[in-house]
Amino acid sequence: MTGRIIAIGDIHGCPLALSTLIEAIRAEAEDIIVTLGDYINRGKDSPGVLNQLIALSQQCELVPLMGNHEEMLLSALRFSLEAGCIADEKESVPGHHLAFLRNCRNFYETDSHIFVHANYLPHLPLEQQPRRSLRWEFLDSSLVQPHFSGKTAIVGHTSQKSGEILDLGFIKCIDTNCCGGGWLTALEPTTGQIWQADERGKLR
């Protein structure tokens, strides 16, 4: 039996929202959950989010993508190492969290969908996409184009202040501003089922 594929948008240090969604989704071993990046910063408990994601990876197949906030953290740690002053920074990030972040992927692709943190160049295969597009480039709904593959894109990064998913048909942005008073969104793209929870853990 084939499991579900579910995407979760930018969590940004909001563990109560994440735990509420995990409980509502009730993932089973055959399910694939794609987390779109930006697990850390802004919210109150980034380590708590990472602990939940690591635990979730033992429950189902977790596909964590790297967001720009994870890239910034890893770049800062790498710079500190090169500068010979890694001790304080390394002690502040547990080894199992570093291992999780370093294993995050650039993208995920199925027969019908592509999943990236931020954006894409419409004419390039995912493996040829520049890092800046995948992790840093915000969506402009008046300029974004369908990917040449014809697949629907599921993205985060561009926070939707309304708390509602941006749905342009060929692309759906599910960063719905959890740590800014909106919702953390999970979406099952093939069925359209949506789960949302706020940073206090209230299910919508």
pLDDT tens digit sequence for 131-155 = 999 999 999 999 999 999 999 999 9
Q: What's the fold here for domain 5-197?
A: Purple Acid Phosphatase; chain A, domain 2 (3.60.21)
Q: Percent of the chain beyond pLDDT 70?
A: 93
pTM over 0.85: yes
Side chain identity at residue 175, one-letter code: D
End-to-end, the C-alpha distance of the chain in Å comes to 30
pLDDT at 90 over 60: no
pLDDT (tens digit per residue) in 75-86 = 988 755 544 454
Distances from the Cα of 115 to the Cα of 19, 32, 35, 127, angstroms: 22, 12, 9, 12
Query: Taking phi first (over 0 means left), then psi (-120 to 50 degrees means alpha), and beta for anything else, what does residue 47 get?
Result: alpha
